[in-house]
Amino acid sequence: MIIAVDGPAASGKGTIARALAKHYGLPHLDTGLLYRAVALTVMRLGLDPAVEADAVAACDFDDRLLAEAELRSDPVGQVASIVSAHPLVRASLLQRQRRFAGQPGGAVLDGRDIGTVIAPQADAKLFVKASAQVRARRRYAELHAADPSLGFDKVLADIRARDARDSGRATAPLAQAPDAAPLDTSALSIEAAIARAIEIVEAQR
């Protein structure tokens, strides 16, 4: 069984995907980490993520990067959303994601284009969303402890900027697949969101 979980930043898709993987005993891939690894490589090489598209795509990142804590930082997320708009970057990561999805027994993948591009044949598809205010509040709660100088308005502006870039790009934009079930987590606890996600998968498979 392949389960595709897509949605914008801080929607809860990662938490839901991990919980589904545990529930069904399936391997899980957070595909955002791949784009973040390209972004961190670009940042360390001092390349301009917006213009040096070919060089960015050629960045064959070191898999050890996937375990680095810095990968999950907000600045890396912002650069990830810039490099991920390059069609060559997306093409360079496509096979790796399809191989993961094609494992015997299946897999859970979360990202922006799993149900639309990576695994359109998925057995279950969720599109996880929440209002920008709610997502910014979640992100702020996570980030503020580490950096007390960070203001809520900055976090909200960053979420909106990332939404606009991810939804507005020409190649594989963030979009709900026609056969994906929407799951709005704005007013749900984590437990309630996971329970609802399992109900949706059970109804679709």
Single out the residue of 124, 90, 95, 93 nearest to residue 107, CA to CA. 124
Give the residue ranges of the annotated binding site: 7-15
Neighbouring-strand partners of residue 125: 4
Count CA atoms within 13 Å of residue 101 on its CB side.
26
Q: For ligand C5P, give the closer residue by CB, 9 or 197.
A: 9
Measured distance CA(146)–CA(149) in Å, rounded: 9
Find the shortest distance in angstroms from Cβ 139 to ligand C5P.
10
Please answer whether residues 41 and 61 qualify as being in contact, where contact means their C-beta atoms are separated by less than 8 angstroms.
yes
Q: CB of residue 87 vs ligand C5P: minimum separation in angstroms?
A: 11
Binding-site residues for ATP, please?
Answer: 7-15
DSSP run (H or E) holding 108? strand 107-111
Q: Convert residues 22-61 into a mask of x (bound to ligand C5P by CB under 6 A) and - (unbound).
A: ---------xx--xx-------------------------
Q: Please give the Cα distance from 155 to 166 (Å, whole number).
A: 16
Q: Does 81 bind ligand C5P (CB under 6 A)?
A: yes
Q: Which of residues 101-160 bind ligand C5P (CB under 6 A)?
A: 111-113
CB of 79 to ligand C5P, least distance (A): 9
Question: What are the residues binding ligand C5P (CB under 6 A)?
Answer: 9, 31-32, 35-36, 77, 80-81, 84, 111-113, 162, 166
